[in-house]
């Protein structure tokens, strides 16, 4: 009798990973369709890194090993008693069942793939079932926090005093230099940057809530301290990418209003409607076209997922006056358009569509990705 | 260049030739072909002619009067061929510094000695408030920012190491070359070791440190500056004066 591993609950949700892994050569490799949105956000098949990851997953058809727990052989000779044999049989059954349920992992670049090898009803041979995909970005030892130019050096801001300053809360970036370059390009030479190292993106995903690591928690606490220190001062913030998720968590640790703070968001990778709700309650300023987007597919996914809530939240902002009426109208029109982009709807619908389709996971990923061009 | 121990990455020897025109010279760089990735940085200035250029919107560098614009900003990664892990990242900026009118008139940049002296003076002034506490291998005023001459046929360049970012694991390598009376080429090169949250970089710090210097030297070896006949004559005149 076949034991279905307890992780594989929804066997009908598994689809072939790609045309190369349908079992014509090597073991078939299947992946659960519910992983589509995570995979779409983490792996771009048009990039060098994305292609290496896809090739490595495809190679599981040859390289995947069934399990590492050895099967216990039958006892040799007649030395054992019947009772002993019965006990050994029990142990063997349990051990072999555990071996079948054992989860293996493939680690390649920033992706960890967890899989089981199993032969279910309908499978012509043992098949690789991918049940989980995790993304862990690589990083260096750069420290997060506030940075500014001091003469020609990029130095940490010691007193956290941001009165009258323009501050970029950076996207998850490789180094303070990269974040500072983005800040200066967007906000000018006197800009300050709150640098978010790459590891924050490991914990702050738009499609699932992960447990926050100590390092990410410390970045969130640092931003919360900066906000508290400058609560009564006038600060203009530009919030980029995953920086919006850091801000969203940091605000939970700050009591009171932010009346003199203005916020703009660029490619926000967060549930923006709830963040806006929080900022509106704190009387923060959200003026002009305060939500912008310039080609980040994860940010566009975030807009598509929460389009209605976002539009509703904008509708609850104080009525605009003068020229603001026009910019508000443009903002709403833009968001309506971005939220209705056909491929974003396709991506969100894909986990369900893939189940009943004969297409492979990768062919759908590539066909939707090509619409981004 | 042959990379050590299964490391792969962009090779400068097959990079793109990019040429910029200046009033006193023509500069040719060999920029690496950066693999397409979501986090890549590959901004190369579309402007190739910097003769009579409007410099009013150039950014200030330090506090000694230099302004600059970027010719190229690139970031690429090196990976382990065996595990496919990204093991090191290189962030490079190539900028043109504009001299102040007074400095340009002094012709400091048309003589190897005065060029190096002047830039070292500026670096000492810009880093006057900087206190180095990280040990002898880090640059400071006392070790003259680990400066050394980059020997070239017409005008020598200057190589320095600078602690440009708080908390960086290693100093930034810098190289300066004269682009004639009014401009200096400024290259800044940061090289950092990468690791994943669940494991350390398998390559030693020493190996990556050595690789950083070899890569930097190789990049510099492809820089070609052809001075105009008038500038060459002026350089020669100053040499014999």
Euclidean distance between CA atoms A223 and A281, whole angstroms = 19
Condensed to tens digits (0 to 9), the pLDDT of residues B76-129 reads 999 999 888 899 999 999 999 999 999 999 999 999 999 999 999 999 999 988
Contact status, residue A299 vs residue A271, Cβ threshold 8 Å: no
Condensed to tens digits (0 to 9), the pLDDT of residues B126-153 reads 998 888 788 888 999 999 999 999 999 9
Residue A212, token pair as written in the block: 């926050």
Q: Which of A49, A152, A213 sits opposite B62 (nearest CB)?
A: A152
Number of other residues whose CB lies within 10 A of the CB of residue A277:
15
Q: Supply the mean pLDDT for chain A.
A: 84
Contact status, residue B214 vs residue B1, Cβ threshold 8 Å: yes
| C-alpha of B4 from chain center | 23
Cβ separation of B167 and A154 shorter than 8 Å?
no
Of the two residues B221 and A94, the one the predictor is more confident about is B221
Please report which helix (H) or strand (E) contains residue A266, including its range: strand A261-266
Is B76 an interface residue toward A (CB < 8 Å)? Answer: no
For position A345, what pLDDT does the model report?
Answer: 75
If you classify domain A145-340 with CATH, what class do you get? alpha beta
Euclidean distance between CA atoms A66 and A96, whole angstroms = 12
Please name the residue of chain A whose CA is at the shortest distance from the CA of residue B61.
A152
Q: pLDDT-based confidence at A76, cuts 50/70/90? A: low
DSSP state of A323: T
Strand partners, A235: A261
Please report which helix (H) or strand (E) contains residue B24, including its range: none
Residue B229 has pLDDT above 80, yes or no: yes
Condensed to tens digits (0 to 9), the pLDDT of residues A78-125 reads 666 778 878 877 877 776 666 556 678 888 888 888 888 888 877 888
Q: Which of B61, B167, B168 sits opposite A152 (nearest CB)?
A: B61
**DSSP H helical segments within A252-371, as ranges?**
272-281, 297-305, 307-315, 324-339, 342-355, 361-370
- Residue B63 sits at φ, ψ, to 5 deg, of -125, 20
For position A5, what pLDDT does the model report?
Answer: 47
Positive or negative: CA dihedral B201, B202, B205, B211: negative
Residue A71 has pLDDT above 60, yes or no: no
Largest CA distance in chain B: 63
| C-alpha of A110 from chain center | 12
Q: Does this complex have an ipTM over 0.85? A: yes
Condensed to tens digits (0 to 9), the pLDDT of residues B166-193 reads 888 899 999 999 999 999 999 999 999 9
Long-range contacts of A72-80 (CB under 8 A, 24+ apart): A72/A96
Euclidean distance between CA atoms A252 and A282, whole angstroms = 12
Residue A227 has pLDDT above 90, yes or no: yes
Is A177 an interface residue toward B (CB < 8 Å)? Answer: yes
**CATH 3.40.50 domain extents, chain A:** 145-340
Condensed to tens digits (0 to 9), the pLDDT of residues A159-194 reads 888 999 999 999 999 899 999 999 999 998 889 999
Please report which helix (H) or strand (E) contains residue B204, including its range: none
Contact status, residue A360 vs residue A18, Cβ threshold 8 Å: yes
Q: Which residues of B touch A154 (CB under 8 A)?
A: 164-166
């Amino acid at each position: 009798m076949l034991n279905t591993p307890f992780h594989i609950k929804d066997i009908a949700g598994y689809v072939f990973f790609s045309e190369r892994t349908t079992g014509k050569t090597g073991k078939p490799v299947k992946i659960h369709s519910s992983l589509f949105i995570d995979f779409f956000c983490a792996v771009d098949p048009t990039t060098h890194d994305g292609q290496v990851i896809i090739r490595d997953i495809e190679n599981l058809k040859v390289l995947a090993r069934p399990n590492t727990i050895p099967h216990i052989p039958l006892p040799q000779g007649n030395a054992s008693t019947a009772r002993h044999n019965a006990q050994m049989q029990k142990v063997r059954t349990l051990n072999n069942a555990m071996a079948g349920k054992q989860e293996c992992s493939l680690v390649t670049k920033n992706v960890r793939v967890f899989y089981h090898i199993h032969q279910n009803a309908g499978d012509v041979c043992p098949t690789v079932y991918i049940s989980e995909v995790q993304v862990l970005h690589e990083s260096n030892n750069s420290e997060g926090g506030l940075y500014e130019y001091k003469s020609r050096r990029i130095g940490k801001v010691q007193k956290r005093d941001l009165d009258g300053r323009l501050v970029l809360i950076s996207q998850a970036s490789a180094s303070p230099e990269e974040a500072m370059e983005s800040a200066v390009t967007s906000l000018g030479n006197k800009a300050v940057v709150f640098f978010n190292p790459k590891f924050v993106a490991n914990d702050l995903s738009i499609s699932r809530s992960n447990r926050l690591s100590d390092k990410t928690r410390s970045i969130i606490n640092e931003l919360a301290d900066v906000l508290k220190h400058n609560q009564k001062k006038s600060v203009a913030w530009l919030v980029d990418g995953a920086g919006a998720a850091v801000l969203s968590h940091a605000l939970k640790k700050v009591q009171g209003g932010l009346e003199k703070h203005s916020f703009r968001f660029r490619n926000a990778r967060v549930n923006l409607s709830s963040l806006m709700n929080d900022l509106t309650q704190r009387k923060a300023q959200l003026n002009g076209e305060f939500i912008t987007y310039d080609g980040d597919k994860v940010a566009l996914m975030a807009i598509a997922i929460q389009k209605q809530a976002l539009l509703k939240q904008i509708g609850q902002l104080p009525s605009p006056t003068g020229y603001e009426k026009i910019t508000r109208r443009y903002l709403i029109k833009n968001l309506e358009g971005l939220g209705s982009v056909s491929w974003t709807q396709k991506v969100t619908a894909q986990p369900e569509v893939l189940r009943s389709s004969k297409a492979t996971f990768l062919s759908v990923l590539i066909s939707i990705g090509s619409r981004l061009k | 260049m042959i990379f050590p121990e299964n490391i792969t990455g962009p090779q400068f020897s097959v990079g793109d030739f990019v040429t910029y025109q200046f009033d006193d010279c023509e500069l040719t760089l060999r920029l690496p072909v950066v693999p397409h990735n979501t986090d890549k940085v590959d901004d190369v200035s579309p402007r190739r002619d910097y003769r009579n250029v409007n410099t009013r919107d150039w950014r200030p560098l330090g506090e000694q009067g230099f302004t600059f614009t970027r010719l190229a900003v690139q970031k690429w990664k090196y990976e382990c061929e065996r595990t496919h892990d990204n093991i090191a990242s290189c962030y490079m900026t190539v900028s043109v510094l504009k001299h102040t009118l007074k400095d340009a008139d002094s012709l400091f940049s048309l003589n190897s000695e005065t060029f190096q002296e002047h830039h070292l003076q500026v670096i000492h002034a810009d880093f006057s408030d900087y206190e180095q506490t990280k040990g002898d291998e880090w640059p400071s005023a006392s070790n003259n920012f680990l400066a050394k001459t980059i020997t070239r046929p017409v005008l020598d360049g200057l190589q320095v190491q600078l602690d440009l970012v708080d908390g960086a694991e290693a100093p930034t390598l810098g190289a300066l070359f004269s682009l004639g009376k009014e401009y200096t080429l400024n290259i800044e090169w940061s090289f950092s070791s990468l690791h994943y949250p669940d494991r350390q970089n398998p390559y030693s710090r020493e190996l990556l440190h050595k690789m950083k210097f070899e890569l930097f030297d190789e990049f510099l070896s492809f820089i070609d500056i052809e001075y105009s006949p008038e500038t060459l004559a002026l350089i020669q005149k100053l040499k014999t004066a």
